[in-house]
Amino acid sequence: MRNKIIYFLSGIVLATGAISANAQSSVASVPQGMINFSLIHNTTTYLSLPLTKNSSYTGSVAEVTTNTISVDDVPGPFTTNLSSAAAPYFIRFLSGNETGRVLLITGNTVSTLTLDTTDNGTGEAVALTTTSFDVEAGDTFEIFPGDTLASVFGAGTPQHPLRLTGGSNVIASDTVTFYTSVTTPQVTYFFNTSADYWEQYGTTANANNTIIYPFSSLSITRRTAHPDMNLVLGGRVTPVSVLTKVIGRGTVYDSTHYPIDVTLSQLQFGANWTMGTDVLSADTISVWNAALGQFDTYYEEPDTTWRKYPDAVTDQSNFTITAGNITTIAKRAAVSGASSFIKSTLPYSLN
């Protein structure tokens, strides 16, 4: 049974908030909240960002190409630059074949949006016109502002103070590391107090405008000399079921995308998820175990119960993935197009 969203647990505090929409479109209010992460000195904390900013536009698709969607609003509503690195924007499809897919806006005119269909560089691009996965006229979507290193963790200014501790080099600084797939190198950043901006480790360029994709998997290392602290992040809950892009015969870093604790049985990954009688024949989800400092791997049996490798007997269907934790997903088979996406059922009701 799905939980009502008003029963948020795991350190999340909710507030009522309405989605901002244009005059032609309106949708039900979606709850907002805050999630708290404890950052302990001399410790690396692995986490995800399950909340996003409020919608700034909601509408429906009028036309679609391989990587663009257009609306027929008059006048055209997209009158500002929606693809600035300093202020990125994303869309999320709210209905249709691609419900739950979140894509970065890379360009726009007053009525057309150009989208990054690589999904943050995860595998090959999957066109919006893909067979059995195509966006169609009438599908609804929303636009919401994205985040950067500076917008989430501060820019070292009075208006945007640092939320972590910087230093003159990476050893003296707290660090933020992002993960996408096991075949893609992790990328680490720190705030260089000598340069007064964020830097990617190994470079000297200003990285303040590095885009943080929604629901990213990341880690924060708090140095020994820096006191324990709480990192509180706010935003809006995921309003529709989630699409996660995977890599065939590979592993991607991910999260549930949901700001509540979710059991394995609630995930309900759908037709593109392969069940099996052992860890070698099934797709797997691995969940970060902070107590042991490792990922624990789970797979789904053909009878829809779950097992934790290497225990092939004990039912783990009620194992809970805590809100804000990170996961990895390993896809055993080659995938392309529509099969590159795994759908997770929304585990709560917004009504």
Cβ neighbour number for residue 335 with a 10 Å cutoff: 21
Q: Of 213, 232, 252, which residue is a domain's last?
A: 213
Beta bridge partners of 104: 90
206 and 298, same domain (yes or no): no
What pLDDT, on the 0 to 100 scale, is given for residue 10?
A: 38
pLDDT-based confidence at 184, cuts 50/70/90? confident
Asked if the structure places residue 225 within a domain, the reply is no
18 and 105, same domain (yes or no): yes
Percent of the chain scored above 90 by pLDDT?
A: 87
CA triple 236-239-240, angle to 5 deg: 150
Helices (H), 110-167: 149-153
Half-sphere exposure of residue 248: CA atoms within 13 angstroms, side-chain side: 10
334-347 confidence digits (pLDDT tens): 999 999 999 999 99
246 and 333, same domain (yes or no): yes
Asked if the structure places residue 177 within a domain, the reply is yes
Q: Which of 26-35, 57-66, 188-197 has the lowest mean pLDDT?
A: 26-35
266 and 138, same domain (yes or no): no
312-325 confidence digits (pLDDT tens): 999 999 999 999 99
Q: With a cut of 60, say whether residue 194 has pLDDT above it.
A: yes
Q: Of 128, 147, 166, which residue is a domain's last?
A: 147
Q: Of 104, 124, 147, which residue is a domain's last?
A: 147
73-105 confidence digits (pLDDT tens): 999 999 999 999 999 999 999 999 999 999 999
264 and 297, same domain (yes or no): yes
289 and 207, same domain (yes or no): no
Q: Which residue has the higher pLDDT, 18 or 213?
A: 213
What pLDDT, on the 0 to 100 scale, is given for residue 351?
A: 67
Q: With a cut of 80, say whether residue 22 has pLDDT above it.
A: no
Q: By the 8 A CB rule, do 238 and 256 touch?
A: no
What pTM value is reported for the model?
A: 0.90
17 and 131, same domain (yes or no): yes
Asked if the structure places residue 224 within a domain, the reply is no
Q: By the 8 A CB rule, do 235 and 33 touch?
A: yes
Asked if the structure places residue 29 within a domain, the reply is yes
The tokens describing 68, both together, are 């663009």
Output the average pLDDT for the chain: 91
71 and 53, same domain (yes or no): yes
52 and 96, same domain (yes or no): yes
Q: With a cut of 70, say whether residue 29 has pLDDT above it.
A: no
20 and 124, same domain (yes or no): yes
90 and 186, same domain (yes or no): no
Residue 73 per-residue DSSP state:
-
Domain that residue 310 falls in: 242-349
Q: With a cut of 70, say whether residue 218 has pLDDT above it.
A: yes
Asked if the structure places residue 223 within a domain, the reply is no
What pLDDT, on the 0 to 100 scale, is given for residue 26?
A: 31
- State how far the alpha carbon of 181 is from the alpha carbons of 108, 115, 178, 246, 293, in Å: 29, 21, 10, 9, 19
- In DSSP notation, 84-111 reads ETTEEEEEEE-SSTTTT-EEEEEEE-SS
Asked if the structure places residue 233 within a domain, the reply is no
What pLDDT, on the 0 to 100 scale, is given for residue 273?
A: 97
Mean pLDDT, to the nearest integer, of 43-64?
96
Asked if the structure places residue 231 within a domain, the reply is no
From the centroid of its chain, how far is CA 120? Answer: 10
Altogether, the residues listed in the chain come to a count of 351
The set of residues, in sequence order, having a beta carbon less than 8 Å from that of 330 and lying 6+ positions away, is: 250, 251, 283, 284, 285, 286
Number of domains in the chain: 3
Q: Which phi and psi angles does 235 have, rounded to 5°?
A: 160, -165
Asked if the structure places residue 294 within a domain, the reply is yes
149-181 confidence digits (pLDDT tens): 999 999 999 999 999 999 999 999 999 999 998
338 and 265, same domain (yes or no): yes
